[in-house]
Structure 1
Amino acid sequence: MTATGNHQLVEPSAHVAPGARIGAGTRVWHYAQVADDVEIGDGCTLGMSCYVGSGSRIGNRVKIGNHADVFGAQIEDGVLISPQAVLTEDRTPRATRPDGQRQGPADWTPTPVIVRCGATIGVNASVAGGVEIGRYALVCIGAVVLRDVPAHMKVAGNPALAVGWACRCAETLDGDLRCPRCARAYEVTADQLIEKPRSV
């Protein structure tokens, strides 16, 4: 990989457009493409052949897996976008206008996906434009997400439906809303999962 003046590491086969801004310590791997008007924070990883489209805003310590496609999404810190996941931004896609002419940028209104801090989008999952994925939510492998996902919720299937709650560490909570891995405890208040204070 090639180190840049901002201490990024960009593999020579990757293409980073001149108008993209990439933070310190971010690694861009083989054949990845980063479009103009993209902002990527510090300490991120962009996997092989992934694509980050114009208008995307990506926080710090985000991992975007091999062959994932991110179209204009707003992604907060610590998010995992797994390999082959797709985040779309066009809710009414067509190749042409009703008159048969090819569509251009003025023919559609972007509705980007928003992914909040610490969430995970699983392998081969698809997220429709305009959907918001809450903090520490977990979208399972192959899920097709058409509606907003609350914080900490675990969703699966096509269309994606709630199948449980996810801890900060991504483990599924038990029936008492406790994490079997890290022992964090939670409670549901006003349909939201809230972490209880940890005992010292």
Structure 2
Amino acid sequence: MTHSANVYIHPAALVETDAIGPGSRVWAHAHIMSGVTIGPDCNICDSVFIESGVTLGRGVTVKPHVAMGEGLTVEDGVFIGPHVVFTNDLRPRSPRLPLTHARYAKKSQWLLPTRVRHGATLGAGVVVSCGITIGEWSFAAAGAVLLQDVPPFALMLGNPARPVGYACACGATLNMNEGKATCPDCPRTYTLIDRRLTPDHPITLWEETP
């Protein structure tokens, strides 16, 4: 494998892809298969498994013991906590069983893609069912089991996960009052329009201050 000089790969990592952006780091015992694309400035921690066909954007943090199945797209600036699991098949059986050969002969018959939109957070131990979209800047609390699409900025809790509020781009829980939301930790404000939370001013992923 050939990687740019400013990509760090721990000697104990198994990396089978060349498609790793500058500034990214891969730590011990991570296994990244061929066909994976990793953007710049990502941090892939110890014992992470990333299967062929996964794409990570810029500035993604993946904490230890995360399992990422084929068909997953993670956009820029996403945080994935330890022991998060992404599935890609709603009815999994061993493909080595004769009675499953026909189903697994074509990926279109079983593979359901999942997308994590920019800025989202998945806390420790979150389980992500396949075929869903996790909205931008949403926040899934530790142990949440995500079975359906997650709205932007939604704060998700439980098994199955349900929305219990909204999170600011900075990560704080928003204060809601008659369709308006304010952040206790930063100056950002939001408006609830047609049951969708919208920032009153554009949010740029790489801004230093609101």
Q: Same fold judged by TM-score > 0.5?
A: yes
Query: Equivalences for 1:112-131 in 2 at 5 Å?
Result: 112-131=113-132
How big is the shift at 1:98?
A: 6.7
Partner Cα distance (2:128, 2:100) in 1: 28
Seen in structure 2, the aligned counterparts of structure 1 residues 25 and 101 have a Cα distance that, compared at 3 Å, is same
Partner Cα distance (1:91, 1:101) in 2: 14
Seen in structure 2, the aligned counterparts of structure 1 residues 12 and 186 have a Cα distance that, compared at 3 Å, is same
Aligned residue pairs total 196
User: Which shows bigger deviation, 71-80 or 169-178?
Assistant: 169-178
Contact 1:94–1:103 (CA under 8 A) maintained in structure 2: no
Contact 1:96–1:103 (CA under 8 A) maintained in structure 2: no
Equivalent in the alignment of 1:185: 189
SS of the equivalent of 2:191 reads: strand
Deviations 1:89-111 (A, max 9, x none): 11211114774467895254321
How big is the shift at 1:183?
A: 2.5
Seen in structure 2, the aligned counterparts of structure 1 residues 76 and 185 have a Cα distance that, compared at 3 Å, is same
Partner Cα distance (2:35, 2:95) in 1: 25
Equivalent in the alignment of 2:28: 30
Equivalent in the alignment of 2:43: 45
Partner Cα distance (2:102, 2:155) in 1: 36
Structure 2 spans left out of the alignment, 5+ residues:
203-209
Seen in structure 2, the aligned counterparts of structure 1 residues 104 and 15 have a Cα distance that, compared at 3 Å, is farther
Equivalent in the alignment of 2:159: 158
How big is the shift at 1:160?
A: 0.4
Partner Cα distance (2:103, 2:28) in 1: 29
Deviations 1:10-54 (A, max 9, x none): 00000001x441110100001001011100000000010011111
- Let me know the Cα RMSD of the aligned residues: 2.2
TM-score, normalised to structure 2, is: 0.87
SS of the equivalent of 1:175 reads: strand
Contact 1:146–1:160 (CA under 8 A) maintained in structure 2: yes
Partner Cα distance (1:14, 1:88) in 2: 23
How big is the shift at 1:133?
A: 0.2
Structure 1 spans left out of the alignment, 5+ residues:
none
Q: What percent of counterpart residues are identical?
A: 35
Equivalent in the alignment of 1:12: 11
| Runs of 4+ residues deviating >6 angstroms | 101-104
